[in-house]
Structure 1
Amino acid sequence: MKNTIHFSGIGGVGMSALAQVAAMEGRPVSGSDRDFDRGRNLEVRAALEKLGIKIFPQDGSGVNDATSELALSTAIEDTNPEVVQAKARGVKISHRSEILAAYVNAFDAIAVAGTSGKSTAAAMTFAVLEAGGLEPSIITGGALGALKERGLIGNAYRGKGRVLVVEADESDGTIVRYKARTGVLLNISKDHKEVPELNKIFGAFAGNCARVIVNADDPAAAGLLPAAERFGLNAGNWKVTDIKAGPFSSEFKVNGVPFRLPAPGLYNIENALAACAAGAAYGVKLEAAAAGLAGFRGVERRFVLVGEKNGITVIDDYAHNPAKIAAVLKALHQAPGRRVLAVYQPHGFAPTRLLKAELIESFAAGLAPADRLLMPEIYYAGGTVNKNISSKDISDAVAARGKSAEFFPDRAAIPAAVASMARPGDIVAVLGARDATLADFARQIFSALP
């Protein structure tokens, strides 16, 4: 029977999430990925196959008599053998964003948007809804620890209920297609795009949602949507008191209900408030939300504790834009007297060029006098790009502002450098995005410690 959906590039975060949900719904699913053909990303392949997804080489053989639809991301070229085969066979070709929008529009969806914190806030919302007994689904860009413990990749799950939590990524502008019941806007700051362009995208997104909740503590988000329902540390129906924000966990009360969150910083308290506000619309009481968040298992590469050795702590975090970096540095400094050794790898030459001034400011203002910044070269994912900027431009500018910053042309030299300078009480923070080797790199740094 011709009803299989084939995902080209199924190993990617966005594609694997959609493929898993389709498979969990009982639809026949197949896929291919260049990394699989090269013997890479095999854990993801195994997890997909465990769900009954058939993996083909990316040579066109996956698009066959059983294929009714070919799903693509923007990374797949028109010359790809599977695209050529689909066109020759008259198979329907759909973009990843179209399929995701169809899920959002078909479910009772909560779409979590904003420049920073989407994956974590979406994961917290999922935890709150599960604690409330709603049996939700989720499609997100980060691997939830709770789902990995169930043997899944972690970025998707199909529950029995009708509520779907989705991370609404603004980077390609496709969130304007979503028609969610509830839209959550966490913040707005310059990242993939300039703020005026982001305002247009988020404004259109909000206009398509039946209900919108906005972070009142973020002036840009609150200013864009002045009539929206609000959450925040000092606003809306969510009164937060008794805050004790530590470097690795937080305690606080919401409307008198005590919360203990195994995640650091005020920004994660804001994420938790967003989850509570979203859950409340579906009848989840604060007491249930508190229970769900107390057991929050985090998101992969979002403030993950790699380990502690001889009084030195190593954490791994996805922070890559100025707002995220500033928030993480602020959270780390909640531990009084502990020096921060920040290892930051920028992702992509174009984003680094766009955010150069803001990146310099985030480190120059966020690093304490005793802190150190170590920077390898900008991560290069391939393709034709203008390489007229270097990590050295950032580190030199931060050093010129009076902070200790050093450029390492050879990333492999950093673990030994960290080991030589680290002392008991230090926190080593590995920061950066997109590069799949960063988590292993953080573990290498930990292993090199004396």
Structure 2
Amino acid sequence: MTTAAQLDPQLNRAPEQIRHIHLMGICGTAMAAMAGMLKENGYIVSGSDQNVYPPMSDFLAQAGIAVMQGYRPENLEPRPDLVIVGNVIRAIYPEAQRLAELRIPYLSMPQALGHFFLRSGIRPMVVAGTHGKTTTSSLLATALHRADRSPGFFIGGIVEAFGSNYRIGNGEHFVIEGDEYDTAFFNKVSKFLHYRPHYAIVTSIEFDHADIFADLDQIRASFSQFVRLIPKEGALVACMDDPIVAETAALCSGQIIGYGTGANCRWRLADFAAKGLGSIFAAHKDGKLFGEFALPMPGKHNALNALAVIALLEHVGLSVEEIRHGLASFEGVKRRQQVRGEVNGITVVDDFAHHPTAVRETISALRLAWPERRLLVVFEPRTNTSRRAVFQQDYETAFAGAEMVVVREIMPLDHAAPGDSFSSRQLAAALNAQDIPAEYFPDTDAILAFLLAQAKSGDVIAILSNGGFDNIHVRLLENLKAICL
């Protein structure tokens, strides 16, 4: 197949001259956001997907975007001017094969974001790292918005301040969550390599995405490419507590702004303290107090994410008062330590954590937020990496602080080698050996039945998954309400 860039680097026309754009795999979170942005910019937008269901189907219908079920060749009739191909698409799909036959120009989603929305006059702010990307980019976009900078943004979670995961904006800054996952079947490089970073934040670098990266060295190589994209007049805000980040940051030709907890950091976190579901901390710059801040999120890791935002916002000219207001007024991100409801004194929390480090930090934050309450953690290993054995032992040390852990059996991987699959049974056994009561169950129904039998007033039930988890949060709350009637 021939990419749009190979057919014509300028797609043969400027973006404003293209009329009809078709998106293959449109119901993915990022692809649906791209469709919405293109629609707002006046394009005729259509799409196709084999998983057309709420909430993305509702969002697209409300936007007036036609969506076709399945990847059929006839989806490309009438012929669009451009096709954007999602990373769920495989070259063997009939629609992809028809695309090649028709030689319609096409781009991946990251390429399209760069082509249509990161053009001259825009200074992208790309937030990258194994952990904290969504929260950090949401904090950054919200603070810029509160300071009347009208940022654009493209983020992997729903930012509560906007009720959306995207905004075109009309200011000079465009905030992007920079994912290191690969781009498309015809473009096997990390997405963030297409985002033209002028400014960037790197929070952490660990091994992840075992389905596309063989080892940590491959991930480091991708981040090395990323930081080299930052121009000399740009800047990189890097967490120097992470030695791999520190080593990688040295490759950047722009200004390097270190942050963290160590004395060697230009920006240093100090005086951190939990305050209910929030935190307070001080930010020191070059050894002097820059300001004291309140953040309506628990956890030291979130305070560090906020410190990265402070460093970048100060670099681009915001005052300490503007930054303080932006952080204090942050309304959160859906599925990041989000309280979904409370019934009879039982609080249900939803969080996206799935990597062992994220699980550990989330439990630590919830423990700080509710130190006197019993914490029950429900974990769904759902990603391609978490369903592999690569992190089996790391998960066994990630649940400290929980009073009880419930684990769902994994959905088998299609191409896992014998012995390469994660074992929920083994995790439960290891936790029980540490005196952390743990159970594993084959499905969501069994987990719900167990929770309803075990939960009591005063409990916090934290559900950790990067997927929908069979709508377990709503079902649990509804069942708890039914019991109370």
* Same fold at TM > 0.5: yes
Correspondence for 2:322: 288
**Once structures 1 and 2 are overlaid, which stretch shifts more, 243-252 or 182-191?**
243-252
DSSP-derived class of the 2:51 partner: helix
Q: How far 1:316 sits from its partner (Å)?
A: 0.6
Q: Using a 3 Å threshold, how does the CA distance of structure 1 residues 288 and 330 change in structure 2: closer, same or farther?
A: same
CA distance in 2, matches of 1:333, 1:436: 24
Correspondence for 1:151: none
CA distance in 2, matches of 1:338, 1:92: 57
Alignment of 1:386-405 (within 5 A): 386=417, 388=419, 389=421, 390-405=423-438
What do residues 110-145 of structure 1 show as CA deviations (whole Å, max 9, x unaligned)?
A: 110000110110111101111222111111211212
Tell me if structure 1 keeps the 8 A contact 2:152–2:175: yes
Q: Using a 3 Å threshold, how does the CA distance of structure 1 residues 64 and 171 change in structure 2: closer, same or farther?
A: same
What do residues 359-402 of structure 1 show as CA deviations (whole Å, max 9, x unaligned)?
A: 11212xx235xx1111111145x755457533112212222333
What do residues 69-90 of structure 1 show as CA deviations (whole Å, max 9, x unaligned)?
A: 1111232133434323333332
**Once structures 1 and 2 are overlaid, which stretch shifts more, 80-89 or 337-346?**
80-89
Correspondence for 2:185: none
Q: How far 1:246 sits from its partner (Å)?
A: 4.0
**Once structures 1 and 2 are overlaid, which stretch shifts more, 329-338 or 190-199?**
190-199
CA distance in 1, matches of 2:216, 2:78: 47
Q: Using a 3 Å threshold, how does the CA distance of structure 1 residues 141 and 379 change in structure 2: closer, same or farther?
A: farther
Correspondence for 2:450: 417
Q: Which amino acid aligns with 1:230?
A: G
Correspondence for 2:68: 56
Identify which of 378, 390, 395 aligns with 2:410. Answer: 378
CA distance in 1, matches of 2:463, 2:353: 9
Q: Which amino acid aligns with 2:371?
A: P
CA distance in 1, matches of 2:206, 2:108: 27
Q: Using a 3 Å threshold, how does the CA distance of structure 1 residues 392 and 24 change in structure 2: closer, same or farther?
A: same
Correspondence for 1:24: 40
Tell me if structure 2 keeps the 8 A contact 1:145–1:300: yes
Identify which of 248, 259, 266 aligns with 1:224. Answer: 248
Tell me if structure 2 keeps the 8 A contact 1:213–1:278: yes
Q: How far 1:238 sits from its partner (Å)?
A: 3.4
Correspondence for 2:14: none
Identify which of 101, 120, 132 aligns with 1:88. Answer: 101
CA distance in 2, matches of 1:416, 1:189: 36
Percent of matched pairs sharing the same residue: 28
Correspondence for 2:11: none
Correspondence for 1:13: 29
Tell me if structure 2 keeps the 8 A contact 1:247–1:333: no
DSSP-derived class of the 1:259 partner: strand
Tell me which stretches of 4 or more aligned residues in structure 1 moved more than 6 Å.
none
What do residues 170-201 of structure 1 show as CA deviations (whole Å, max 9, x unaligned)?
A: 12242234431011100112222432222211
Correspondence for 1:147: 162
Tell me if structure 1 keeps the 8 A contact 2:237–2:311: yes
Tell me if structure 2 keeps the 8 A contact 1:128–1:276: no
Equivalenced residue count is 434
| Structure 2: unaligned runs, 5 residues or longer | 1-16, 183-188, 284-288
Alignment of 1:19-418 (within 5 A): 19-36=35-52, 40-41=53-54, 43-58=55-70, 59-65=72-78, 67-102=80-115, 106=119, 107-148=122-163, 154-172=164-182, 173-174=189-190, 175-192=192-209, 193=213, 194-210=215-231, 211-226=235-250, 228-234=256-262, 236-246=265-275, 248-254=277-283, 255=289, 257-334=291-368, 335-348=370-383, 350-352=385-387, 353-363=389-399, 366-368=400-402, 371-379=403-411, 383-386=414-417, 388=419, 389=421, 390-418=423-451
Tell me if structure 2 keeps the 8 A contact 1:2–1:67: no
DSSP-derived class of the 1:48 partner: helix
Tell me if structure 2 keeps the 8 A contact 1:132–1:285: no
**Once structures 1 and 2 are overlaid, which stretch shifts more, 171-180 or 403-412?**
171-180
| Structure 1: unaligned runs, 5 residues or longer | 149-153
Tell me if structure 1 keeps the 8 A contact 2:114–2:194: yes
Q: Using a 3 Å threshold, how does the CA distance of structure 1 residues 432 and 84 change in structure 2: closer, same or farther?
A: same
The TM-score normalised by the length of structure 1 is 0.89
Q: Which amino acid aligns with 1:85?
A: R
Q: Which amino acid aligns with 2:161?
A: A
**Once structures 1 and 2 are overlaid, which stretch shifts more, 165-174 or 115-124?**
165-174
The TM-score normalised by the length of structure 2 is 0.83
RMSD: 2.4
CA distance in 1, matches of 2:90, 2:166: 26
Q: Using a 3 Å threshold, how does the CA distance of structure 1 residues 26 and 276 change in structure 2: closer, same or farther?
A: farther
